[in-house]
Chains A and B, each alone.
Chain A
Amino acid sequence: MKWKFEKIIESDNIPIEGLAWNGQALFYSQPNKDLIFRMDLDKKIPTINRKYTGKVSGLAYGPSGEFYGCQQFSRRIIRMSTEGPAWAMTYRYDGMPYHESFHNTPKHITVDSLNRIWFSDPMHPLLGFGPALPFSNHQSILRLEMQADKSWKLIRSSYDTTNPSGVAVSKDAKKLYVGNRTNLVSEVREYIINNNGSLGKYKTLLSFINTHDDSAIIIDGICVDSNGRIFVCTGSMNNEFSSIYILLPNGQISESHVVPSGRVTNCIFGGVEMNILFIATQNGELLQVSNKNIH
């Protein structure tokens, strides 16, 4: 079935990145403007939820309503209150010399049903703010696990990613889907999540050849629906090949839909029945698709 796209926000060429649904409203980030917006479905007029975000990109809500963001400028994950204070979560690995202990530039984030926070940590060309700190010698998927004393522990989860982007976890928290770019391909990987949270070997579900130019297709945000299908955002730096691919839980490509906009950066489900797919793009458009077949 061909999707009918409804444009919610017209392009202003300021990329929209993070998307999060809190049960009542959609939140989205504009890292380049240091802003997070809130949009209630009945009003459909975005309002500024937070200023001075420090280039927050990925957004996610936890199972109890905790609001998290990937603060790229500060190279850390932050937790945000509804409107006021925000707090830095852990941003260093334990047991390492200070200047070697910082991770890179968190980009995409998701929280699984076990309250583990997963995020991609590519080495973004945007340098962190302030006196420079060395980047990690790896670009990995990291996770935060809450400890018995309620503190969070940062754990490296992937050891074979090279430039990770979108992350999503299956509803049963047993599979992790990761967008990753290598020298050869841009691909969606499926990792088995072991009982202790570590990752098993991956299999590739979707792959595009890396053409090493602006036409190379990039995999960005990923989300899953309640049926376990995987929704993958794609597009190229020259804003072509903008599409959403839908993969079945077994990895088969089920559908693909060309998105009439720039490179798709992220997508997420929302709405009262969770059957609205919100789609963000590199050129600053926010679109929605309402469809009883997706939820």
Chain B
Amino acid sequence: MYSVDLSMVSPGFERIITSGTELEQLVTGLIFTEGPLWDPEEKALIFTDIRGNKIYKWKEGVGLETIYAPSATANGLTYDNKNRILVTGWSSRTVWRINSDRSTNVLASHWKGQKLNTPNDIVVKSDGTIWFTDMFAGLWIPGMCVDDIQRYLDFEGTFRMNEDGSSLALMVDDLCGPNGLCFSPDEKLLYINESDINRTRVWDVQADNSLINGRLFYQDQGTEPGVADGMKVDVEGNVYITGSFGIHVVSPSGKLLGRIHVPEHVERHAANMAWGDEDWRSLYITARGCVYRIRLGIPGIPHGQVNRQKVLKEYSK
């Protein structure tokens, strides 16, 4: 248990987190944790260990359980609208789905006949469309990609496709290390992190799901370890971005509200986050070998449309 360390705090940040809040370490001893996903029925956190090549489930009072291995160095996770787990797989260079009977389907593997780079993070819009980033880092990071490590695409992009993998469309092609992505609560904005330059861009999402007006949303100016990796939003539209020091909480207007420190050891900075627990006010954080949890004052937008609708409805009361 750590007493959380905050920095660059703006007035009002105490609504989100108070200085006495504690950061719990739930899991340690893994290699590279990512893709956290809360399962409200099981009351458990599902997450990946990319280099460890496994998908785990962690449950309070029970501990850690391997639920899928080898995972083809699975990275990001989310739910589709039928509550099936979607996976961005680094070594497989695909986006794939785990069905309820544990069978799998590949949803995306190529763009115009060329293999994708290494799909990194993934999000599903309420209309069921699947959006994912495709950076090339997985090809070059040792231990991430075990099959063909050749890069073929001349860009790092963000793609969109239908729930069944059809109609794959390239949405953005000028990104530098596209990584975490998420929609604003009303889904009128799409945020994408660019890890290589530690910044976040935002686009207006049109009714036909096209993107316009791409612009800089936030630039991480910190010098501490950490990069713009995972990203999530809370119900008020505040954006939580991993970065220097730990996690940056940024207002919808792009103003830094404060930074939450996530303890880093050797290169163990925060990689991604997921909202969880009954009230969706716990933020679960994957950070290299560890998983942490912190309680926050505002609930977040969870993975899965049922969960999302529920929390938005609850919050609007």
Contact A131 B139 (CB under 8 A): no
> Known: A129-B141, A130-B137, A131-B32. Contact between A98 and B51, CB under 8 A?
yes
B229 CB to nearest A CB, Å: 10
CB A219 to nearest CB in B, in angstroms, measures 28
User: Is residue A191 contacting chain B, with contact meaning CB distance below 8 A?
Assistant: no
For B144, list chain A residues within 8 Å (CB): 130
Q: Is the CB of B267 within 8 A of A88?
A: no
Q: Are A85 and B51 in contact (CB under 8 A)?
A: no
Contact with A along B16-37 (1 / 0, CB 8 A): 0000000000000001100000
Query: If the complex has contacts A51-B151, A87-B147, A102-B142, are A134 and B51 also in contact, measured as CB distance less than 8 A?
Result: no
Interchain CB contact under 8 A, B149 and A88: yes
Interface residues of A in 235-260 (CB under 8 A from B): none
Q: Across the interface, which residues of B come within 8 angstroms of A85, CB to CB?
A: 148, 150
B267 x A132 contact (CB < 8 A): yes
A269 interface hit (Cβ, 8 Å): no
Closest B residue to A86 by beta carbon equals B150
Interface: B288 (CB within 8 A): yes
Q: Which of A73-81, A141-149, A155-163 contacts B (4 or more CB under 8 A)?
A: A73-81
- A interface, how many residues as a size bin? 20 to 34
Question: Which of these, B141, B148, B266, contacts A87 with CB under 8 Å?
Answer: B148
With A and B bound together, what is the CA distance between A80 and B149 in angstroms? 9
CB neighbours of B266 from chain A (8 A): 99, 132, 134
Residue in A closest to B136 when the chains form the complex, CB atoms: A52
A88-B150 in contact given A98-B31, A131-B288 (Cβ < 8 Å): no
Task: Determine if B151 and A129 form an interchain contact, defined as CB atoms under 8 angstroms apart.
Answer: no
Interface positions, chain B 112-161, Cβ under 8 Å from A, are 136-137, 139-151
Contact of B140 with A73 in the complex, beta carbons under 8 Å: yes
Please judge, given known A-B contacts A74-B141, A129-B141, A134-B266, whether A88 and B146 are in contact too, CB under 8 Å. Answer: yes
Q: Which of A76-107 contact B (CB under 8 A)?
A: 76, 78, 80, 84-88, 91-92, 98-99, 102
The answer to whether A129 touches B140, judged by C-beta atoms less than 8 angstroms apart, is yes
Among A76, A98, A130, A133, residue most surrounded by chain B Cβ atoms (within 10 Å): A130
User: Taking CB as reference atom, which chain B residue is nearest A128?
Assistant: B142
Report chain B residues within 8 Å CB of A131.
32, 141, 267, 288
B51 to A, closest residue via Cβ: A98
Give the docked Cα–Cα distance between A98 and B29 (Å).
Answer: 11
A88 and B288 in contact (CB under 8 A), knowing A52-B150, A99-B266, A131-B267? no
Excluding A54-B139, A85-B150, A88-B149, 14 further A-B contacts by CB distance (< 8 Å) are: A52-B150, A52-B151, A71-B140, A73-B140, A74-B141, A85-B148, A86-B148, A87-B147, A87-B148, A98-B31, A102-B142, A129-B137, A131-B267, A132-B266
User: Which B residues form the contact surface with A (CB < 8 A)?
Assistant: 31-32, 51, 136-137, 139-151, 266-267, 288
- The 3 A-B pairs with the shortest beta carbon distances in the complex, nearest first, are A130-B141, A52-B151, A85-B148
- 18 A-B residue contacts at CB 8 Å? A50-B150, A51-B151, A52-B150, A54-B149, A74-B141, A74-B149, A84-B148, A85-B148, A86-B149, A88-B146, A92-B142, A98-B31, A99-B31, A129-B137, A129-B140, A130-B137, A130-B142, A130-B144
